[in-house]
Structure 1
């Protein structure tokens, strides 16, 4: 939601899995850099500050430093500017959670041509613009958990508003594409009436939810929020005189954003994963790529420190399963 220059051409085989030309290119970065540039969707989001802390934990164990830089709001143009600037310092690696995979692809390819290890986390980049993607959990598991947690509250039926993060985010598109057939098969009486971007921001989520419910209050069963800012949907309902206990809000959430509402019983459950673990695994994968121990085929395993052995399939590193937050466990998560 980390820039690395490949140290030597001995990494060519590992780099060639997704970007065959990158390993052959002249190295424009430093062969001695130990800096990993981590570019979040937005620096101010608690989710990504938690990712920063996980990346720094792994970096400390492996001898790297983390440069956490990016736009303050979910802005693709801001990420491009950040990446262009980061390349001037010749880092060892860049890892990014793209707001728009197409927008950042050219500069990521430029980084690989210069010998920088490039990865994506939380949201994928174009496959030919990174060497691997660190997936917080399986996309199928996330999509099904989003649906199931709402279905539990509505008896598997009803009409719903769905608020995404940004319209261009690859992970959002993937989850939606998995949610739709899963709903049709398992919950045929559930229907997504409209999909609206919320920009990972409670104020924006409040605005778009309020606007929609003002016109569709009587025929809306619940509201899914699958980007950040779920609390904004609760505020919108309260301003319109709707009881969130009667019109459930569910989906993906940031614990710090929903903690108060969850303890008040206004949100029953929501789903996410550990951003710290995702970024921690990312740094271990970057280290493996730099050292030439990342599997050349893009399939195999990764020794990921305290996370143990992780599976890699088609250059996707899978970290674990999604977490369902409830009032009973949400205080265990501090981001």
Structure 2
């Protein structure tokens, strides 16, 4: 598989435009885009492709769904973007049932719970709807294929490696995650723990995994609680863009730059100030626009019958090029966008203008 995700974007940033897409409320309102350009195949044109984000008001989700809309418009379909107000499985189940009633061609979902969505997603597949997950996986029985940001092993490894270097491999640190049921978060944390078993980390101690539920206020309060409960805390890993931004503000406001180190997964536009000030010496991510974009093309390939989600299936994802379906760690199948990318003082100015 050619890895053209983030790195390809970084060579062709002029191609990217970031705008806000989203909706709110427990009765989500659809955001629809379509085109009459005729660029899609006969199977793709005029089909309705849906994507369900984790929750509203999340900049990462907004960038991701924008990429999805861009792809669907590009190949001639119509898109629907929906999200529950809160990051819960219950909110997503309500939306999925609505989309089944609308008889959409496909549903892509960034799940809030890997297992709780299984009955309703199987219902969707039984109705002939193509189902895939993206960013945060549902279990293999609930999908045809998953779109992953990057190798989850490497994501977990690089975050612990970064924390080790920042802390000089000594002292206490914590993890500030999203929800306790988020598959992507739990998978990365699993590989963080595996990395910590290596001898170079023997003087580091993970004291707590806190959950901010991908909500700014709760992530802020959880960060403050970590600092109060662990006065010797030397670092925080936050593998969520909402969490890392909230933690960075708390550390900045308390004057803890260089005393409590921060790394994780963040949006350059939100973290530029903290990268420059040293609150977060460096962090990682991929391009969320590209995650949504490739998800749009995977949806198209499933609807067109180009792929079925089996290992070895190939398809072309617009400007990102050709991809191959591979085996996922959870036993299902997946499409990997590309490797995680490091953002630091040397490059943050450039990428903060992009997303």
TM-score range, shorter chain: 0.7 to 0.9
Within the alignment, does 1:321 sit opposite 2:321 as a pair? no
Q: Say if 1:74 and 1:271 are closer, same or farther in 2 by CA, change over 3 A.
A: same
1:150 CA displacement: 1.5
Give CA deviations for 1:165-200 in whole Å, capped at 9, x if unaligned: 000001111111111111211523222111111111
What is the DSSP-based 3-state SS (H/G/I as helix, E as strand, rest coil) of the residue aligned with 1:160? Answer: strand
Q: Please, which of 318, 326, 330 is the counterpart of residue 348 of structure 2? A: 330
Within the alignment, does 1:205 sit opposite 2:223 as a pair? no
- Root-mean-square deviation over aligned CA pairs: 2.1
Instruction: Assess if the C-alpha contact under 8 Å between 2:52 and 2:110 holds in 1.
Output: yes
After TM superposition, the structure 1 = structure 2 runs for residues 17-96 of structure 1, keeping only pairs within 5 Å, are 34-96=47-109
Give CA deviations for 1:281-333 in whole Å, capped at 9, x if unaligned: 11111211122221563334332121112232122101101111113323424
Q: Say if 1:33 and 1:112 are closer, same or farther in 2 by CA, change over 3 A.
A: farther
Instruction: Assess if the C-alpha contact under 8 Å between 1:98 and 1:123 holds in 2.
Output: yes
Q: Distance in 2 between matches of 1:296 and 1:113?
A: 16
- Note the residue ranges of structure 1 that are not aligned, 5 or more in a row: 3-29
Q: Distance in 2 between matches of 1:296 and 1:223?
A: 37
Residue 18 of structure 2 is matched in structure 1 by: none
Residue 234 of structure 1 is matched in structure 2 by: 248
Q: Distance in 2 between matches of 1:323 and 1:41?
A: 23
Report how many aligned residue pairs link the two structures: 305
Q: Distance in 1 between matches of 2:309 and 2:197?
A: 39
What is the DSSP-based 3-state SS (H/G/I as helix, E as strand, rest coil) of the residue aligned with 1:52? Answer: helix
Q: Distance in 2 between matches of 1:112 and 1:94?
A: 9
Residue 228 of structure 2 is matched in structure 1 by: 214
Residue 38 of structure 2 is matched in structure 1 by: none
Q: Distance in 2 between matches of 1:138 and 1:253?
A: 17
Q: TM-score, with normalisation over the residues of structure 1? A: 0.85
Q: TM-score, with normalisation over the residues of structure 2? A: 0.81
Residue 166 of structure 2 is matched in structure 1 by: 153
What is the DSSP-based 3-state SS (H/G/I as helix, E as strand, rest coil) of the residue aligned with 2:86? Answer: coil
Higher mean C-alpha displacement, 151-160 vs 170-179: 151-160
Q: Say if 1:176 and 1:142 are closer, same or farther in 2 by CA, change over 3 A.
A: same
Q: Say if 1:287 and 1:149 are closer, same or farther in 2 by CA, change over 3 A.
A: same
Residue 297 of structure 1 is matched in structure 2 by: 310
Give CA deviations for 1:17-72 in whole Å, capped at 9, x if unaligned: xxxxxxxxxxxxx9986111110011311111111221122112211121111113
